Structures are given as C-alpha cells and as structure tokens.
C-alpha cells in the first residue's frame, strides 16, 4: 500500500467523499464529536491530505496544513484497520516531508505517549476540544 498525498486544491470529488467518510466514521460516530468537522482548511493549496486505502476506501488518514507553521490533525484509522501501524506510516511521512520545520498538533491526551514515539513533546496544559481531552504537542525541527 502506498501513501496517497494530495494538496487540498487538487482533491477530486471522490477524494473529498472518501476523506470525509473516514473522518465521519471515526470522529462523529465512534467518538461522538459534535463539533463541525469542516473548518475551511481542507481545500486550500496549503493543506496536504495523506492516506492509505484499500478496496473499502481510506484505512488511515491525516492532514497537514501550513499557515506559517506546519500543523497536523484529523489523524484517524478505520476501526477494522487499527493495530497495524498504518497511522505510524503517515506520521513518519510527515516527519520525512516537514522534519526540517517545527510541527505542532493537538493530540487526544490518551495518545500522548504514541506521539512522543515520533519525537513530539508536550507544549502546554491539556484542554477540552470537542468534548475530548487534548494535549498540545510540538516536534522540534531537526
């Protein structure tokens, strides 16, 4: 399986559908997030979407955007594909692509140790986002 990487302004209608499908499955249905997922960043040329897919669509997904700094978010894996290291592949690709820059993310707090395995460190106090505890984290440029 190879990583698909598409800039926001190059997404096809099928790509958008597939991305929102996995995000909806994980965040809305599994995690019961009631906040709006669509935030105006997905279709920007400065947003990069990365995912792995099988015949049923994306198995794991994340997006990174550059607004003067690199931000990673919307990291999710389909329930039937968890435990296979798929999100780790995407996180490694983020480090490969932007590792010479500082990268920030807001980790769901129960995943703090997992993000630490990719070089991220806590950068502030936990906070509530969409009803879920999050931990701000940063990966220094290397």
pLDDT for the residue 35:
86
Residue 16: inside a domain = yes
pLDDT for the residue 1:
78
Residue 94: inside a domain = yes
Residue 71: inside a domain = yes
Residue 81: inside a domain = yes
pLDDT tens digit sequence for 92-135: 999 999 999 999 999 999 999 999 999 999 999 999 998 999 99
Q: Provide the 8-state DSSP code for 83.
A: T
Tokens of 49: 């979407």
Q: Read off the CATH number of the domain in which 11 is found.
A: 3.40.630.30
Number of domains in the chain: 1
- Short-list 51, 137, 119, 49, CA closest to 90: 51
pLDDT tens digit sequence for 42-87: 999 999 999 999 999 999 999 999 999 999 999 999 999 999 999 9
Cβ-proximal residues to 137 (8 Å cutoff; 6+ apart), any chain: 104, 105, 106, 107, 112, 115, 116, 120, 121, 122, 123
Range of the domain at 78: 4-100
Residue 17 CA to residue 66 CA, distance in Å, equals 23
**pTM of this structure:** 0.96
Residue 9: inside a domain = yes
């Amino acid at each position: 399986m190879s990583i698909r990487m598409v800039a926001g302004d190059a997404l096809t209608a099928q790509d958008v559908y597939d991305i929102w499908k996995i995000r909806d499955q994980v965040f809305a249905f599994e995690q019961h997030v009631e906040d709006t997922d669509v935030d105006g960043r997905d279709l920007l040329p400065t947003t990069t979407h990365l995912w792995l897919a099988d015949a049923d669509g994306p198995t794991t997904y994340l997006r990174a955007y550059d607004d003067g700094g690199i931000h990673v978010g919307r990291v999710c894996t389909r329930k039937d594909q968890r435990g296979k290291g798929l999100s780790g592949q995407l996180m490694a690709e983020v480090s490969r692509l932007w590792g010479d820059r500082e990268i920030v993310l807001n980790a769901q707090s129960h995943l703090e140790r997992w993000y630490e395995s990719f070089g991220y460190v806590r950068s502030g106090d936990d906070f509530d986002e969409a009803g879920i505890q999050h931990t701000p984290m940063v990966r220094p440029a290397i």
